[in-house]
A and B are shown apart, each in its own frame.
Chain A
Amino acid sequence: MEKNNNIFNEEEKFEKLRNLLSELPKEKVPDNFEYNLMTRVHNKNFDIKSERKTSKLFRIYTPTFALAASVALIFFLFSEKDINNEDPWNTQPKLRPEMQTSEALEYDALLDEETNVSSKPSEEILGEVKKDEGSVQMEDQRTQNNIAAKKTSKPNFPFDKRESVDLDKMLSTSQAPSVNKNIKQPQLTGGNESPSPEFGGFFLRQKSVEVKKDSLKAADSLKQLQDSLNGKK
């Protein structure tokens, strides 16, 4: 009896709420509901959307496989990069090949200019001798000498590149310059700290002219000798 009274009291207590809920409009299915349902039944399309389940194993292992795959991908990507590419922040910039070759060519041209002055007369003489003698051995020797000269010969500066030169003293006395090791090699303004290959300091060609004269004298004497030999023949 008491229980029934309690229930009745509770129903009374929430009477307004109950009325409010019962007055709510009734929701209805759309007009095509039955048609769609019977179509599904006739087509035996019994796939229930709200009961589609994925297996627990799939739920557990999917993130694991995804993690492993991503780690493997990252590993291969970064390892490939290490082999083929250099880190631009940790490597010195390389000189362009065309720059390197142009520098080398300039240096070679300088060497040729210097060596041709002294070697040309002797080449002519040797060539004439070769014509006369016609020996293969001489020709080989000449080519060997030329190669050796090109390889080993350096610009024959009358002073050390690393030392300063007192030009007035040198011109007046034409002696070797005094050594002053405290003075650095002269550098062109606007250049960087490394010594420029184009500028090697001032030097005189006086000595080389003398060498040229000597070589010409030798050539003349050889020519005279050749003429006398021809005359004998």
Chain B
Amino acid sequence: MASDKKLLSLTDEGLIKEFQDNDTIEAYEILVKRFKDPLMNFVYRFVGDRDVSVDIVQDTMIKFYLNKNSYQSIAKFSTWIYTIAGNLAKNELKRRNRRSMLSISNSDDDDITLQIEDKKFIAPDRAADNVIKSDIVQKALLKVKPVYREMIILRDIEGFSYEEIVEMTGISIGTVKSRINRGRTQLQKLLKNIYEV
């Protein structure tokens, strides 16, 4: 019990060190509890499918369990685990793109476009509803190119700094900033008809 309290007081980096050194499964469980929801939010905003996102987060945790020793203490644990989740999410998107190229009809994108365009006819009082609002924003976000989308989610939804994003993605800070800027511009255009952003 006392050891649990001690573990709970540890930082992310302290917990991963405990897990690496002593193979303490409790430290692993605490890290899972801390990061399961933020990772779920990040992956869901990126992929747009709840069930798939849950699977990706599970796979992220499994990879973390299996490759705990590949983490180096020079980096933040959060950036490391977000990198794993981001790579798995990108793989999922690539697989989807391959499938959509092979399939005869790709109606998903058309539906999204139509739905976004039709929403401008929703009455203002109903448009204020948070559920509809978030649904519209999510669909608009999925229309943005994945390279820009990832940056917007990490910066504006998850609240990471530019340096952290650089660490996660491995690209230069200038590229990160320009991608964020382009992504925001795209998203603003998509949402202009609905909200005056």
Contact = CB atoms under 8 A, between A and B. Distances in A.
B37 A17 contact: no
A17 B197 contact: yes
A183 interface: no
A22 to B, nearest CB: 6
B145 interface: no
Interface residues of A, number: 29
Given A50-B55, A50-B92, A22 B157 contact: yes
B40 A28 contact: yes
Interface string A21-42: 1111111111001101110110
A34 B133 CA distance: 30
B61 interface: yes
B193 interface: no
A20 B133 CA distance: 9
A176 to B, nearest CB: 85
Contacts of A21: 137, 152, 156-157
Max count, chain B CB within 10 A of own CB: residue among A23, A34, A36, A50 = A50
B56 A50 contact: yes
B59 interface: yes
Contact of A33 (B57, B92, B152): B57
B53 A27 contact: yes
B64 to A, nearest CB: 10
Interface stretch (B5-13, B117-125, B163-171, B184-192): B184-192
Interface in B131-148: 133-134, 137-138
Contact of B40 (A27, A38, A41): A27
Interface residues of B, number: 46
Given A26-B37, A26-B41, A29-B36, A17 B59 contact: no
B134 A34 contact: no
B137 A20 contact: yes
Nearest to A17: B197
A148 interface: no
23 contacts: A14-B184, A14-B197, A18-B184, A20-B133, A20-B197, A21-B137, A21-B156, A21-B157, A22-B156, A24-B45, A24-B138, A26-B38, A26-B41, A27-B44, A27-B53, A29-B37, A33-B36, A34-B29, A36-B58, A37-B58, A40-B62, A48-B59, A48-B88
Interface of A: 7, 10, 14, 16-18, 20-30, 33-34, 36-38, 40-41, 46, 48-51
Interface of B: 25, 29, 32-33, 36-38, 40-41, 44-45, 50, 53-59, 61-63, 65-66, 88, 91-92, 95, 130, 133-134, 137-138, 152, 156-157, 159, 177, 181, 184, 187-188, 191, 195-197
Given A7-B177, A27-B53, A34-B29, 6 more contacts: A27-B44, A28-B37, A28-B40, A33-B36, A36-B58, A48-B88
